[in-house]
């Protein structure tokens, strides 16, 4: 999954996309367990999915969850290392948590996730209130680590695994709207993009048992969920084989299996890598109405030389070929979004213009846009000079944002005057008299509540739009 960074987004994010630059806090579960877990999750969708796995493991060890940190016996911060700002946010939060630790000295504090993996034992030395540090492949070891801390010791396990997928763990759905859920289908990443820390913090790529994924989707349907998002750093490289070697499943085949769970279950996925997305995947999307016609296809740059420096393993021509295939197979209305980096190492003004022209060609529905910031340990940090002045990066980013705002508005105007099937996710942010949901292309649609409720599929006639939202009226 390509990095998603909390800088200068335009305002048309879905709840899942907004979550990528926000914090999620555990909700209340009260089943009479002896101790309480409070967990804050930062970063990408994979982190929020991991927190659900952690909560399940800790539930079996006698912990309910709480949304009130003052009630917690154990506090976890599930962290992100994509940007320095993300790590600094966690350090600042630890300073705030120290206030609660002083009031309740027996409270345990743990750092989970990518920051734990990247900084390892140094966190225990630098942040004195931290009791345990646990990497994303070591969550099964949490019971043992908690016992060590209960015994008065600091604890750490940041070992990466080539096998761990947590396939047998039934996640506890945190912050769930009861309508949409994540299903992690793979872990790690084998792509070595030069700007990215993910391969170093999440390890090598491995795919989860296809039938465990289908079972999880079936269980979600039985529990009333209407939508799943299949998650992976690079879902298109999903590849599972049975132990006896008699069966193998690629991503297109997995998509089909999940789509067949129920025709009323919407299926989404994230993130696709341009080098791996195949026509087979696109034809599978076309075949099933309940597979949403939306693809997050990060470009990062529109210039082939810069893409080579980024080690993206495709060039501009290849990327445009994939976009052309999407439009040819799925139609012009298929939603496409992207990630864009402004001011990567040695990027010239002409190469920046190539990014703008790529955006003109593709006509993205929305994008995640940020300027390049060097991350320690990455290939770019070791081999390339971060030589673009900050004011130039910011100016280029502003041009990319303005381009995307224009394109997003134009794409939304195409939807005015049409009827869209919307899955209601809850009330709109501004009024309990209006509902909010998303259409097939992952766009937020707002309409008057009437008799409809969360979890309903509603046909909505769209009569107006903004850069980030469609506005309409239910038509039955």
Q: Which residues are annotated as a binding site?
A: 44, 80, 114, 189, 193, 196
Indicate the helix (H) or strand (E) that contains 75. strand 74-79
**Distance (Å, whole) CA 208 – CA 164:** 9
Distance CA 109, CA 107 (A): 7
Length of the chain: 476
DSSP for 298-342 reads --B-S-HHHHHHTT-S--HHHHHHHHHHHHHHH-TTSEEEEEEEE
* HEC secondary structure over 367-395: EEEEECCCCCCCHHHHHCCCCCCHHHHHH
What is the rounded CA–CA span in Å between residue 203 and residue 181?
A: 24
Q: Are 368 and 330 in contact (CB under 8 A)?
A: no
Taking the C-alpha atoms of residue 262 and residue 57, their distance in angstroms, rounded to an integer, is 29
Residues 164, 88, 19: CA angle, nearest 5 degrees:
60
User: d(Cα 437, Cα 457) in Å, to the nearest integer?
Assistant: 9
The values of phi and psi at residue 340, to 5°, are -135, 135
Q: What would you report as the CA-atom Rg of the chain, rounded to the nearest whole angstrom? A: 22
- Strand segments, DSSP code E, in 158-281 are 180-184, 186-187, 206-207, 227-231, 239-241, 248-250, 266-270
Strand, helix or coil for residue 18:
helix
Residue 336 φ/ψ, nearest 5 degrees: -130, 130
Binding-site positions for [4Fe-4S] cluster read 44, 80, 114, 189, 193, 196
Could you tell me the end-to-end alpha-carbon distance of the chain, in angstroms, rounded to an integer? 38
- Two tokens, residue 468: 């980030």
Distance CA 45, CA 233 (A): 10
Q: Which long-range contacts (CB under 8 A, 24 or more apart) does 256-261 make?
A: 256/284, 256/287, 256/288, 257/210, 257/213, 257/214, 258/183, 258/213, 258/214, 258/217, 258/228, 258/230, 259/284, 259/288, 259/290, 259/291, 260/288, 261/214, 261/217, 261/218, 261/221
């Amino acid at each position: 999954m390509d990095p998603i960074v909390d800088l200068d987004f335009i305002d048309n994010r879905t709840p899942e996309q907004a979550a990528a630059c926000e914090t999620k806090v555990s909700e209340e579960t009260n089943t009479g367990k002896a101790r309480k877990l409070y967990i804050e999750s930062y970063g990408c969708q994979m982190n929020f999915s991991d927190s659900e796995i952690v909560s399940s493991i800790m539930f079996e060890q006698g912990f309910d969850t709480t949304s009130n940190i003052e009630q917690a016996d154990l506090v976890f911060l599930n962290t992100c290392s994509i940007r320095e700002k993300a790590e600094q946010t966690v350090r600042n939060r630890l300073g705030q948590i120290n206030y609660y630790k002083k009031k309740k000295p027996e409270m345990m504090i743990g750092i989970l996730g990518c920051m734990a993996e990247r900084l390892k034992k140094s966190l225990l030395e630098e942040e004195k209130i931290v009791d345990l540090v646990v990497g994303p492949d070591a969550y099964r070891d949490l019971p043992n680590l908690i016992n060590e801390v209960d015994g008065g010791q600091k604890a750490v396990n940041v070992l990466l695994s080539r096998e761990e997928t947590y396939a047998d763990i039934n996640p506890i759905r945190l912050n769930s709207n009861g309508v949409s859920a994540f299903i992690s289908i793979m872990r790690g990443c084998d792509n070595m993009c030069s700007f990215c820390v993910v391969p170093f913090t999440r390890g090598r790529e491995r795919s989860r048992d296809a039938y465990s994924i289908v079972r999880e989707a079936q269980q979600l349907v039985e529990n009333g969920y209407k939508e799943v998002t299949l998650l992976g750093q690079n879902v298109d490289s999903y590849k599972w084989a049975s132990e006896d070697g008699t069966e193998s499943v690629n991503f297109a085949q997995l998509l089909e299996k999940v789509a067949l769970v129920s025709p009323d279950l919407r299926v989404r996925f994230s993130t696709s890598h341009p080098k791996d997305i195949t026509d087979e995947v696109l034809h599978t999307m076309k075949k099933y109405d309940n597979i949403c016609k939306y693809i997050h296809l990060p470009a990062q740059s529109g210039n082939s030389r810069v893409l080579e420096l980024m080690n993206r393993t495709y060039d501009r021509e290849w990327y445009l070929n994939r976009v052309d295939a999407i439009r040819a197979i799925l139609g012009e209305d298929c939603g496409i979004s992207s990630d864009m980096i402004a001011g990567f190492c040695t990027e010239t003004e002409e190469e920046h213009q190539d990014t703008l022209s790529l955006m003109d060609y593709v006509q993205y529905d929305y994008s995640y846009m940020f300027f390049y910031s060097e991350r320690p340990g990455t290939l770019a940090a070791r081999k390339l000079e971060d030589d673009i002045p900050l004011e130039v990066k910011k100016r280029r980013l502003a041009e990319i944002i303005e381009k995307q705002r224009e394109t997003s508005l134009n794409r939304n105007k195409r939807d005015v005057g049409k009827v869209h099937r919307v899955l209601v996710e809850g009330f709109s942010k501004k009024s309990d008299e209006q509902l909010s949901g998303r259409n097939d292309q992952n766009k937020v649609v707002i309409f008057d509540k009437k008799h409809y409720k969360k979890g309903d599929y509603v046909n909505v006639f769209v009569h107006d739009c903004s850069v980030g939202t469609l506005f309409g009226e239910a038509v039955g």
